[in-house]
Structure 1
Amino acid sequence: MGLFKRNPFGHILFLKKWLIRIFGVLTHQRYQGFNQLKIEGSEIIKDLPDTNVLFVSNHQTYFADVTAMFHVFNASLSGRVDTIKNIGYIWQPKLNIYYVAAKETMRSGLLTRIMAYAGSVSVERTWREKGKEVEREVNPHDTENIGKALKDGWVITFPQGTTKPFKPIRKGTAHIIKDYKPIVIPIVIDGFRRSFDKKGFHIKKRGILQSFVIKPPLEIDYENETIEEIVTKIEYAIEQHPSFSKVIPGEDIDEMEKMNEKRRWEY
């Protein structure tokens, strides 16, 4: 790899590699020390093609979720099944992993700008900005950038666009699937909300068993399934369909909402 070789977004791969290595070392104990990350299904990762793979997941913190995914994916590609023990896997990370994130979040500080360089595809929210409700059209440039990232590698997206549980899936994800026809891999995570603050920077509680379940690719008829059908399929796959909320006591969901609101003002 040439020292100044760049990816399609102009990021220098040598620099990106070192950022992933550094963040990997700094965050490893958050999942393999202070807390324990229980992984299922990671054998799926190694058999995926190098490009045009879309990971869809529920969302519990801004950054701890996607950081865990970088660990799990790279560990799996190095031959580790359902474990991130022995951090040596981070020395040669997969450099064409991207994640979709809100532009205002990735521009909120120096640390987030550095993290963006490690793989963010920043998009404008169409429904919320600076804590206020808005209504705007999808920026076609954002969609093109996600397509560019899929063409170059793997993309992680959180289709609810929020860390609050059981919120609707944004239709933009289904449009991306229809347009670019990626392999779609669902991921279901849990325990991150209890382990970290909302941003995912601070450890809130130790000794939490975090779960990370990778499911087989979704079967999608790209030509004939409607946007609504794909949305419903994603809701069930990442266990965020409204029917799943019925198995969780209402008071628990209310408590999640209260804690999210409290952490919003604390951090």
Structure 2
Amino acid sequence: MGLFKKNPFGHYLFLKKWLIRIMGTATHKRYRGFNELKIEGSQIIRDLPDKNVLFISNHQTYFADVVAMYHVFNASLSGRDDNIKNVAYLWNPKLNIYYVAAKETMKGGFLPKILAYAGSVSIDRTWRADGKSVNRKVKFSDISNIGKALDDGWVITFPQGTTRPWKPIRKGTAHIIKKYEPIVVPVVIDGFRRSFDRKGIRIKKRNILQSMIIKDPLDIDYKNESIDQIVERIEYAIEQHPSFIKVIPEKELKAEEELNEQRRYSAKNH
């Protein structure tokens, strides 16, 4: 790899590699030490092509979710089965992994800017800005940039666009699937909301069992399935369809809602 080689977004790959190595080493204990990450389905990662793969996942924190995926994906590609033992897998990381994130989130300080350089495809949210509800059109350049990332490698997206559970799937993800016809791999995570603060930076509680389940790629009829049909598929695949609420104990749902209320109160007073 040449010292001055860049990816399609103008980021130097040499610098990106070192950022992933350093940040990965610094965060490893957050998933194997302070807490324990249980992984299922990592062998699926090794069977995927090098590009045009879209990972869809539920979302629990701003940054800890995607950092965990960088760990798991690179560990899997290095031959590890459902574990992230021995951080040496970060020495030669996959450099064409990207993730979709809100532009305003990635501008919020020095650390987000570093994480953005490591792989963010930053977009303007159409439904929320600066903590307020908005209604604006999707930017063609945002869709184009996601397509550019898919053409170069793998893209991680959180189709609910929020860390709050059971929120509707944004149809933009379905439009991207229809337009670029990527291999779509569902990922279901849990435990991150209990482990970290909302941003996924501060460790809130230790000894939490985190989990990440990587599922088989979806079999999508890109030409004939409607946007609504694909949205429903995504809801079921990442276990965020309303029907899943019925199988979750009422006590757990109540605790989740109380936690969300505490977060809203905390954000209001800071």
2:242 is matched with 242
- The worse-fitting range, judged by mean Cα deviation, of 138-147 and 251-260 is 251-260
Partner residue of 2:31?
A: 31
Secondary structure, counterpart of 1:135 in structure 2: coil
CA distance in 2, matches of 1:253, 1:103: 31
**CA deviation after TM superposition for structure 1 residue 210, in Å:** 0.6
In the TM superposition, what is the alpha-carbon distance from 1:258 to its structure 2 partner? 3.3
User: What is the CA distance between 1:252 and its match in structure 2?
Assistant: 3.1
Matched, 1:183 2:183: yes
Q: Structure 2 stretches of 5 or more lacking a match?
A: none
The 3-state SS of whatever aligns with 2:256 is helix
Question: Which residue in 2 is equivalent to 1:148?
Answer: 148
Q: Are 1:58 and 1:238, in contact at CA under 8 Å, matched by a contact in 2?
A: yes
Deviation at 1:249, TM superposition (A): 3.4
Q: For residues 244 and 228 of structure 2, what CA distance do their matches in structure 1 show?
A: 18
Structure 1 runs not aligned, ≥5 long: none
Partner of 2:75: 75
Q: CA deviation at 1:262?
A: 2.5
Deviates more, 1:34-43 or 1:251-260: 251-260
For residues 56 and 194 of structure 2, what CA distance do their matches in structure 1 show?
21
Alpha-carbon distance between aligned partners in 1 of 2:127 and 2:174, rounded to the nearest angstrom:
17
CA distance in 2, matches of 1:215, 1:36: 20
CA distance in 1 between counterparts of 2:100 and 2:261 reads 23
Stretches of 4+ moved more than 6 A in 1?
Answer: none
Q: Counterpart in 2 of 1:160?
A: 160
Once residues 209 and 69 of structure 1 are traced to their aligned partners in structure 2, the CA distance between those partners, rounded to angstroms, is: 16
User: Could you give the per-residue CA deviations for residues 117-139 of structure 1, whole angstroms, max 9, x where no partner exists?
Assistant: 00000000100011100000111
| Aligned counterpart, 1:9 | 9
| Number of matched pairs | 267
TM-score by structure 1 length?
A: 0.98
Counterpart amino acid of residue 262 in structure 1: Q
Q: Quote the Cα distance in structure 1 between the aligned partners of 2:254 and 2:132.
A: 21
Name the aligned partner's letter for residue 113 of structure 2: R
Q: Quote the residue 1:232 is aligned against.
A: 232
Percent identity between the aligned chains? Answer: 73
1:48 aligns with 48
Report the Cα distance in structure 2 between the residues aligned to 1:102 and 1:251, rounded to whole angstroms. 32
- The 3-state SS of whatever aligns with 1:213 is strand
Instruction: State the 1:147 CA deviation.
Output: 0.2
Residue 248 (structure 1) shift: 1.9
Q: Is the 8 A contact 1:72 1:83 kept in 2?
A: yes
Corresponding residue SS for 1:37: strand
Distance across 2 between alignment mates of 1:124 and 1:90: 31
Match of 1:197 in 2: 197
Q: How far off is 1:114 after superposition?
A: 1.1
CA distance in 2, matches of 1:125, 1:249: 33
CA shift at 1:254, angstroms? 4.0
For residues 74 and 175 of structure 2, the distance between their equivalents in structure 1, rounded to whole angstroms, comes to: 28
Are the counterparts in 2 of residues 198 and 260 from structure 1 also a CA contact under 8 Å? no
What is the CA–CA distance in structure 2 between the aligned matches of 1:243 and 1:64, rounded to whole Å?
A: 27
* In 2, Cα distance between equivalents of 1:60 and 1:83: 21
RMSD: 1.1
Contact kept? 1:164, 1:257, Cα under 8 Å: no
Residues 23-69 of structure 1 show CA distances to partners (whole Å, capped at 9, x for unaligned) of 10000000001111000000000110000000000000000000000
